A = this chain, B = another copy of it.
Amino acid sequence: MSPQQPRNAPPQAEQPKQPIPGVRHLVAVGSGKGGVGKTTVAVNLAISLARLGRKVGLLDADVYGPNVPLMMGTQETPLGANDRIRPIESFGVKLMSIGFMNPGDKPLVWRGPMLHSVIQQFLRGVDWGELDYLVIDLPPGTGDVALSLIQSAPLSGAVIVTTPSDVSLEDARKAINMFAQVRVPVLGLVENMSYLIAPGSGERIDVFGHGGGKRTAEKMNVPFLGELALNPAVRIGGDTGRPISTRDSSDPEAAPFRELALRIEARCQEEQKAGPKITVED
């Protein structure tokens, strides 16, 4: 087995992927590298879509670092109802996270097959109801959990988050190639932490460099979905369980996420019109 070969798909991926009843669009948010703001984007995207009037769910599949409960300000335990798990609701978004099952500071020390089955439960055993969007916060990278999930879920597409640093872009290119290998459309690339505005002086600082996201998107022929500033208010929103996108839609700090949500919505519709691509294997 050469490192260039995709690993064998699990059996269910070779059959047509079963849709999730009631769910219109499944949007995965992924990244090559961790710590680039993937969960921040997923959380604020989900809330922004809900504020636009869409019915939204958020599945936290980042099994080893499930930060969605902290960011969404909830630590409730989901209850079962008629053989299904009822999601937690926060800021108008239906939530499911392994963080609800394993709260506190204990590390999650399950191996791959167990995780795969939990993720399947989260996708199909949760009472999501009617949803316009189910946003999935993938684990970073191209590991087992991410790959199993994107091979088994009928994704509308994936959003890739990166910072402008070369190290993050190197890993983002790998993630884009992984989605291409398994034929999941890339809805686009987001450059997060693009620049920082110093709160006192207003000086603009390119902490992690600048512009690499756009250049990488062009080079790899995927849409560029925009830049998001390294805004301490966004981080504080996540750390305190009140994401920035919960602010009024006229708030200038919430606006970039609202615009991102609109762009991703437009991309989902484009991909839906394009329909499933027929690919001839070589």
Contact = CB atoms under 8 A, between A and B. Distances in A.
A205 interface: yes
Given A65-B32, A203-B198, A112 B112 contact: yes
A206 B239 CA distance: 14
Contacts of A208: 232, 235
A282 interface: no
Interface of A: 1, 3-7, 32-36, 39, 64-65, 67, 70-71, 98, 101-102, 105-112, 114, 140-144, 147, 163, 165-168, 170-171, 173-178, 181, 196, 198-201, 203, 205-209, 230, 232, 235-236, 238-240
A70 B167 contact: yes
A32 B99 CA distance: 14
Contact of A232 (B3, B163, B207): B207
Given A39-B167, A108-B142, A209-B239, 8 more contacts: A35-B140, A65-B140, A67-B170, A67-B171, A165-B238, A198-B198, A198-B205, A207-B207
Contacts of A235: 165, 207-209
A135 B196 CA distance: 33
Contacts of A181: 107, 109
Nearest to A2: B102
Contacts of A32: 65
Contacts of A106: 3-4, 174, 177
A100 B101 CA distance: 39
B109 A5 contact: yes
A191 B61 CA distance: 27
B170 A3 contact: no
A203 B200 contact: yes
A65 B165 contact: no
A34 B140 contact: yes
Contact of A207 (B39, B64, B230): B230
A79 B237 CA distance: 49
Contacts of A108: 3, 142, 174
